[in-house]
Structure formats: structure tokens, C-alpha cells
């Protein structure tokens, strides 16, 4: 019973510790660079793209969910009008359509960056 509560608590403490160490180390590194007189523009080097990360995630997530929905719909049509096995058809069509949607999302993300 004790292990059932200690495992989630220790997991969240480990995640918090890693996050805290990352932020504090980054802050100390930035302060050291500022003390040496380095230009502050190096902190913005990764943010030169005009598209935000959230838009790309939303695009890929939306396409993934649409792919899963289309996969379920295709599996429903195939099970209704054919005598194929339901147990294999649903996961196969869902994974195929989700993969196709992620490929479309990858191509769309490459076009957004241009």
C-alpha cells in the first residue's frame, strides 16, 4: 500500500527536480555570459522562425485525430460491406490512416517553415 503512494510521489519529485535543475543551470549560464559582456542576442537564436511551436503541434494533432477518425470510418465501412475480420481491421486501418495523417502533417510543417 505504501509503494502505491510512494511511486507517484517520487516520480513527480524527480520530474520537478530535473525541471528545476534545468532552469537554474540555464539561468546561471546566462548570468555568467552577461557578466562577460556577451551580446544578449544569442539567447534568441532558437526563436527566429515566425511560426510558433504551438501552431505546429495543433496542426499535427488535428491531422492525427482526423486520420484516426477516417481510419475508424473506413474500418466500419469495410466490416459492413465485406467479411473481413473485425479484430484485425480496426487497428490496421486506424494506424495506417494515422500514419498517413502524420506524413501529411510533416509535409505541411515543412511548407509552413518556408
CB neighbour list of residue 40: distance below 8 Å, 6 or more residues apart: 34
Does residue 50 carry a pLDDT above 70? no
For 6-10, 25-29, 47-51, 106-110, which range has the lowest pLDDT when averaged over its residues?
A: 47-51
Q: Which domain holds residue 36?
A: 1-45
What per-residue confidence (pLDDT) applies to 34?
83
Residues 39 and 60 placed together within one structural domain of the fold: no
- The CA angle 93-97-98, to the nearest 5 degrees, is 115
Residues 30 and 61 placed together within one structural domain of the fold: no
Does residue 83 carry a pLDDT above 80? yes
Does residue 51 carry a pLDDT above 80? no
Residues 37 and 70 placed together within one structural domain of the fold: no
Contact 108/85 with Cβ under 8 angstroms? no
Does residue 1 carry a pLDDT above 70? no
Q: How many domains are contained in the chain?
A: 2
Q: What is the mean pLDDT of the chain?
A: 85
Amino acid at each position: 500500500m505504501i509503494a502505491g503512494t510512494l511511486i507517484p510521489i517520487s516520480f513527480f519529485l524527480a520530474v520537478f527536480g530535473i525541471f528545476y535543475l534545468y532552469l537554474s543551470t540555464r539561468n546561471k549560464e546566462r548570468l555568467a555570459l552577461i557578466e562577460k559582456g556577451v551580446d544578449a542576442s544569442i539567447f534568441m537564436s532558437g526563436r527566429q522562425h515566425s511560426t510558433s511551436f504551438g501552431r505546429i503541434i495543433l496542426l499535427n494533432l488535428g491531422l492525427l485525430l482526423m486520420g484516426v477518425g477516417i481510419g475508424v470510418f473506413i474500418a466500419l465501412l469495410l466490416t459492413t460491406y465485406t467479411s473481413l475480420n473485425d479484430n484485425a481491421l480496426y487497428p490496421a486501418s486506424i494506424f495506417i490512416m494515422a500514419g498517413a495523417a502524420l506524413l501529411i502533417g510533416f509535409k505541411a510543417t515543412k511548407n509552413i517553415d518556408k
